[in-house]
């Protein structure tokens, strides 16, 4: 089968969808030798020089998502390539593909539809207007968790037959690192893009209460790129009486992230909703003591190996009671992490394409 994969998230995304697309391509190229994969991109860079790549540059260079490229130039290239399958890993697509080509859409989460206030106006409006119609026309929807699949079925019960849950896995950059335990240091850690659904301001409120009740010298590190609608988070940091103990690290390299995950006293996810949860999988891999919101897909990823909370008060009590203890048996936790495998993903995905 000839498969064209829209690989623009490699250059246009920097968070979860970028990681998903990169690792999906890596796995398919490595483990699926029976199908032909062609990466459709807006520009070439250092990613996957060994792969077949077709570059369709933006017509309007200043635009991140050029409508002329998407609606005119890309369909022309697809008509020339005549793929058996077209795959959109960034959720919103594929659109305008040849009639004989089948379509696969990867759905990461429906928060732009379910909770538009957490997203930029453009993103939420476009997905509320068009996403259901796109999925009506696609042949297969790949959901990254059971929770995401359930949301799709709740959107439209007809999606149940065409939706397949395939879990992603731990990024190769982390799975290939030799695990060497580090002595735990006295800091809490959050990893992820700064955006409303991460509810970072809630963690800061809990951190303030923890410091006040315990008098501990504990610090709080935030690792991740700047996102959108950050006013509440910025205000919570600025107004914290312990602002000098809060360190905003920004985006860090993989080695630095791994070092922090190994050495943190507690890794905290206070998200209001997640489609999957790569940071949690990474934290568990490196033996972090994880404190996680009990909602959405996080219970699928965390399993029995993390401390769950349903409120800020419960998170506070968990941190006070358990913050200096191990979550669970490290070997069992890492075995759980290894059950989320990109090799397994590639095998399952290949079966969707047929012979």
- Domains of the chain (ranges; CATH) run 2-169+340-353 (3.40.50.2000), 173-338 (3.40.50.2000)
What SS3 class is residue 201?
Answer: helix
Helix and strand numbers (H, E) in the chain are: 16, 13
Of the candidate ranges 64-68, 78-82, 304-308, 348-352, the one whose mean pLDDT is the lowest: 64-68
What SS3 class is residue 54?
Answer: strand
Q: Name which of 279, 349, 353, 354 is nearest 25 in CA terms.
A: 349
Residue with tokens 């079925």: 153
12 — pLDDT class (breaks 50, 70, 90)? confident
Per-residue confidence (pLDDT) for residue 45, from 0 to 100: 83
Alpha helices by DSSP H, listed for 169-290, are 172-175, 200-214, 231-239, 254-263, 278-285
Alpha helices by DSSP H, listed for 271-340, are 278-285, 298-302, 312-322, 330-338
Q: What is the mean pLDDT of residues 273-301?
A: 96
Residues 155-186 have pLDDT tens digits of: 999 999 999 999 999 999 999 887 777 788 99
What percentage of the chain carries pLDDT values higher than 90?
A: 78
Residues 51-110 have pLDDT tens digits of: 999 999 887 766 677 778 888 889 999 999 999 999 999 988 888 899 999 999 999 999
Q: What is the mean pLDDT of residues 315-342?
A: 83
Per-residue confidence (pLDDT) for residue 62, from 0 to 100: 64
Residues 216-266 have pLDDT tens digits of: 999 999 999 988 899 999 999 999 999 999 999 999 999 999 999 999 999
Per-residue confidence (pLDDT) for residue 195, from 0 to 100: 94
Q: What are phi and psi of 101, to 5 degrees?
A: -85, 135
Do 280 and 290 contact (CB within 8 A), yes or no? Answer: yes
Per-residue confidence (pLDDT) for residue 63, from 0 to 100: 67
Residues 112-158 have pLDDT tens digits of: 999 999 998 888 898 999 999 999 999 999 999 999 999 999 999 99
Per-residue confidence (pLDDT) for residue 59, from 0 to 100: 77
pLDDT at 339 over 80: yes
325 — pLDDT class (breaks 50, 70, 90)? low
The reply to whether the predicted model has a pTM over 0.85 is yes
Per-residue confidence (pLDDT) for residue 178, from 0 to 100: 75
């Amino acid at each position: 089968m000839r498969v064209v994969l829209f690989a623009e998230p490699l250059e246009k995304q920097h968070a979860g969808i970028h990681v998903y697309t990169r690792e999906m391509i890596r796995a398919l190229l490595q483990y699926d030798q029976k199908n032909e994969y062609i990466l459709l991109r807006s520009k070439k860079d250092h990613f996957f020089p060994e792969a077949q790549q077709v570059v369709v540059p933006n017509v309007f260079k200043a635009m991140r998502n050029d409508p002329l490229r998407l609606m005119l130039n890309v369909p022309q290239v697809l008509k020339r390539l005549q793929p058996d399958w077209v795959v959109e890993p960034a959720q919103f697509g594929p659109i305008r593909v040849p009639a004989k080509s089948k379509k696969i859409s990867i759905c990461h989460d429906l928060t732009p539809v379910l909770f538009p206030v957490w997203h930029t106006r453009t993103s939420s409006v476009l997905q509320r207007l068009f996403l259901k119609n796109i999925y009506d026309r696609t042949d297969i929807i790949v959901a990254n968790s059971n929770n995401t699949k359930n949301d799709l079925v709740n959107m439209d019960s007809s999606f149940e037959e065409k939706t397949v849950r395939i879990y992603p896995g731990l990024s190769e950059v982390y799975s290939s690192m030799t695990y060497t335990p580090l002595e735990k240091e006295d800091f809490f850690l959050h990893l992820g893009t700064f955006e409303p659904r991460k509810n970072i301001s809630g963690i800061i409120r809990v951190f303030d209460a923890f410091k006040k009740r315990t008098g501990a010298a504990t610090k709080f590190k935030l690792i991740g790129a700047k996102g959108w609608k950050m006013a509440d988070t910025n205000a919570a940091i600025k107004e914290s009486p312990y602002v000098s103990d809060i360190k905003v690290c920004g985006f860090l390299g993989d080695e630095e992230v791994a070092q922090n995950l190994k050495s943190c006293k507690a890794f905290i996810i206070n998200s209001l909703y997640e489609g999957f949860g790569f940071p949690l999988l990474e934290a568990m891999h490196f033996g972090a003591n994880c404190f996680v919101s009990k909602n959405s897909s996080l219970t699928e990823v965390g399993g029995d190996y993390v401390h769950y909370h349903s409120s800020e008060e419960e998170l506070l009590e968990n941190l006070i009671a358990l913050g200096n203890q191990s979550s669970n048996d490290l070997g069992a936790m890492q075995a759980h992490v290894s059950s989320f495998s990109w090799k397994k993903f590639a095998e399952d995905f290949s079966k969707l394409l047929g012979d």
